[in-house]
Amino acid sequence: MSEFIDSKDQAIISLLQKDGRMSVQDMALALGLTRATVSKRMEKLESSGVITGYAAVVRKDFSHKKVCGWVMINTIPNMEEGVIAAMKLMTEVSKIYTTNGRWDLGVEVGAADLEGFDTALSRIRQISGIETTETNLLLSSRIGQ
């Protein structure tokens, strides 16, 4: 994949994958962008072939996540919601759970390869409000798929 996808493009794709019928106006409000900016970026994503249809049907090689893992996170007190909001914009993050016990959050992360997973992990660790993390790669599924 040679297209340059920045964090705003990733956020648009993430919103469309969650709700392919979301209006441009609602996306603009959610992302703090103008309607024109969201429309222009959506056109670029469509013309480059990243978005191939709606309800956001994305190329298999773009969304296929061969490397998956759990990132357990401790947050700085009272900063958990900001951490969650930042991770919701990451396309590599598929699930976020609040937990009790040793960790504050359990996050499911996926990427096409180890390099992509490492990049996502680095981005997660740079989010303001994260104190510590522990990562476990998922090797195989023994039940369900």
Name which of 6, 90, 9 is nearest 42 in CA terms.
9
pLDDT at 58 over 90: no
pLDDT at 2 over 60: no
Please work out, in degrees rounded to the nearest 5, the angle formed at the alpha carbon of residue 47 by the alpha carbons of 59 and 9: 70
Burial class (CB in 10 A: 0-12, 13-18, 19+), 17: middle
Claim: this prediction has a pTM higher than 0.75: no
Q: β-strand 57-58 against 51-53: which pairing, if any?
A: antiparallel
- Does residue 126 lie within any of the structural domains? yes
- Does residue 116 lie within any of the structural domains? yes
Do 82 and 39 belong to one domain? no
pLDDT digits (tens, 9 = 90+) for 4-20: 889 899 999 999 888 88
Residue 95: CATH number of its domain: 3.30.70.920
Average per-residue pLDDT for the chain: 89
Domain that holds residue 107: 65-137
pLDDT at 41 over 90: yes
Residue 32: CATH number of its domain: 1.10.10.10
Instruction: Provide, rounded to the nearest whole percent, the portion of the chain with pLDDT above 70.
Output: 89
Do 56 and 92 belong to one domain? no
- Does residue 29 lie within any of the structural domains? yes
User: Quick one: pLDDT band at residue 142, thresholds 50, 70, 90?
Assistant: confident
Distance CA 2, CA 16 (A): 21
Do 24 and 38 belong to one domain? yes
- Does residue 120 lie within any of the structural domains? yes
Do 79 and 93 belong to one domain? yes
pLDDT digits (tens, 9 = 90+) for 85-126: 999 999 899 999 999 999 999 999 999 899 999 999 999 999
